[in-house]
Structure 1
Amino acid sequence: MAGAAAPLADAGATQAAAIREAVTPQPPRAPHRIITLAPNATELVYAAGAGEDIVGTVLRSDYPADALSIPRIGDGIQFSEETILTLHPTLVVGWQPSDGSRSLARRLAPLGVPLIYTDPQSLDDIPALVRMLGERLGTQAAADAAARDLARRIRALRPAAAPPQTVFIEISADPLYTLGKDPLTNDLLARCGGLNPYADSALAAPQVSVEAVLHLNPRVLIMSPYGGETLAARTAWWVRHGLPAARAGRIYAIDPDHLHRPGPRLVDAAEAICADLRDSLGRP
C-alpha cells in the first residue's frame, strides 16, 4: 500500500502546482505605442485587443467610438512625420504601401520601429491579421477570440443561388464609378453567390457609363451611399433610366464604411450582401 501512495502524492503535488500557477498574477504585457495610418488598421488593432495602445491615427478613424479621442497625425494620404516621431511609436500599422508610408518607414528604420501593412486579399485574411496583431502585441487571448468569431461567421456565408447573380456595385453616382479589380470584394461576392462583371478591369475602381450598365443589365445593384445619396433616390433614378433591377426592387444599400474598410466590419457587409442576394431571388 505504501508504494501506491507515492503516485497519488505526486498527482496531488502536480495539481497544487497547476493551481498555484493559475492564480499567480502574470506580469503585465509590455506596453506599446501604436500609430495607425488607415481606419481599417485602427479597427484591426482594436479587434486584436490593443486599441488602448494607439497613440496616433488618421482623420477618418472613427470606429469604435473610443477611436475618436485618439490624436490625429494626418488624413490617411498625407501625415506629419514629425508629429509621428514626437509620439515615440513602437509600431506603425498601415493599409497599403504609399509614397508617404515609404518615406515614413525610412525615418523609422534607424529607430528600430517597424511599419507593417494590413492589406487582406480575401475574407479569410481578416481573422488571420487579427491573430497576427495579437501575437505581436501580446494580446493573444482577445485576438484569438475575435478571430475565431470572425472565422466562424465567414464559414457560415453561403451562396444564394447557382449560377452566380451578376452584381453591379455603385460606389459613386456622379460620375458613376464601380469596383473592379478588387480581390477582397470579389471574394466576398463569390461567397454570397454574386459575380462582379468588372472583376477583370485593370483598375480597382473604374468609371463606367450609364449606357454600359444598362447594356450589362445586372441582376442586382448594390450601392454604398456616399455624398447624401439615398437608396430611394438612386432606385428612382435607375427606374427612370430603365434598369430592370431597379424596377424589380433588386437594388440595395450597404454601409460604405463596412464595405470599403478592409477590416472586421467587412464581415458585416458580407452577411448583409448575402442576405440581399437571397432576397433578390424572390423578386422577378
Structure 2
Amino acid sequence: MKRAADGFGGMRRRILGLAAAACLCAGPARGAGTPPRIVTLAPNATELVYAAGAGGAIVGTVLRSDYPPAARAIPRVGDGIQLSEESILALHPTLVVGWQPSDGTRSLAQHLAPLGVPLIYADPKSLDDIPALVRDLGERLGTRAAANAAARGLERRIHALRPAAPPPQTVFIEIGADPLYTLGRDPLTNDLLARCGGVNPYAEGAIAAPQVSVESVLRLNPRVLILSPYGRDTLAVRRAWWSRHGLAAARAGRIYAIDPDLLHRPGPRLVDAAEAICADLRDSR
C-alpha cells in the first residue's frame, strides 16, 4: 500500500543533525522524593519520555515537539537548534534530555553542571536501542513499571518485523528533491532497512545525509524508492519525474512515501516506520 506524508521541517533537522553522534550518557539520578522536572531538547526525546510514562513531568521542550498531542501544551525553550538557556534554567529542571550534542547543548551543560542537573542524550543506533532507552528513562524517573511495559511492547513489534523474501533489495531513500539528498552513513536507518530485507546503496558513504546526483541514482538502479517527506500530490509528481528520467523502480510502481515524523525522529514511532517500510518492501516483490 502506498503511504503519504506531509511536511519538510523534520527533513531539515535530520540533515543538520545526522553528522553528530552521541549516546544516552550516564548521569546522577534524581534525589529520592524529588518530583522530576524534565526539559526535552528534541521531539524524539519528548516521545521517549512519554513512552517511559513521565510525559506529565516535562516542563519545557522545543518547537517541533508535537507528539503525543499533549506535548503541544508544553512551554517552548527553543527550536532544537537555538536554545534559551535563561528559559531552561528558570524552569528548575532536574533532568534535561537531548538528542545529539551541539554547541547549544554543550553550553547549557556547563550551566547545569554546578546545579547538579544531568543533561543526557538519547541517540539510538539500532531499533533495539529504543526500548532500552525507554527502560533507562523509567529507571531514572521512577516510572519503571510503565516504561518496562512500553519497552516490552516495542520489543515484541521489533522482533515481529517480517522482511521481504531474499535477496536483499536496494532501497534509495529520498529526503530532499532540489537538491537531491538521501540518507547515507546512518546506522539507525540502515539497521531498520536490514531488518526489512533492504540495503541502502549509500550506507558506506562518508557522511550521514549526502547530496547525490540523479545520474548516480540511475547508475545504482535501486529496486525500491522511498520518499520522505512528501504528500499525496508530490508522491505522484515524483513518481512521474523519476519515470521520465528512466528509473525502473518508478516505472514499475516500486515507489513509496513515509511520514517524515516517523522516519526522522529516532524514538518509539520509528518502529511504526519500520513496520510500514517492511510492508512496502514485501509489496515491491
Smaller-chain TM-score bracket: 0.7 to 0.9
Q: Which amino acid aligns with 1:276?
A: D
Q: Partner of 1:78: helix, strand, or coil?
A: coil
1:51-70 superposed matches below 5 A: 51-70=55-74
Query: How far did residue 226 of structure 1 move?
Result: 4.8
Q: Partner of 1:105: helix, strand, or coil?
A: helix
2:280 to 268, 276, 279: 276
1:153 matched to 2:157? The reply is yes
1:93-242 superposed matches below 5 A: 93-226=97-230, 230-242=234-246
**Percent of aligned pairs with the same amino acid:** 83
Q: Distance in 2 between matches of 1:226 and 1:81?
A: 34
Q: Partner of 2:242: helix, strand, or coil?
A: helix
Cα deviation 1:158-207 (Å, max 9, x = unaligned): 22121210000000011000000000000000000000000001111000
Stretches of structure 2 lacking an aligned partner (at least 5 in a row)? 1-31
Confirm or deny: 8 A CA contact 1:239 1:246 kept in the other structure. Answer: yes
Under a length normalisation based on structure 2, what TM-score does the superposition of the two structures give? 0.87
Q: From the two aligned structures, give the one with the greater helix fraction.
A: 1
Q: Partner of 2:225: helix, strand, or coil?
A: strand
Q: Partner of 2:217: helix, strand, or coil?
A: helix
1:20-59 superposed matches below 5 A: 30-59=34-63
Query: How far did residue 30 of structure 1 move?
Result: 3.9
Query: How far did residue 227 of structure 1 move?
Result: 8.4
| Structure of higher RCO (CA pairs closer than 8 Å, 6+ residues apart) | 2
Q: Partner of 2:120: helix, strand, or coil?
A: strand
Query: How far did residue 29 of structure 1 move?
Result: 6.1
2:252 to 226, 245, 248: 248
Q: Which amino acid aligns with 2:148?
A: D
Stretches of structure 1 lacking an aligned partner (at least 5 in a row)? 1-27
Aligned Cα root-mean-square deviation (Å)? 1.3
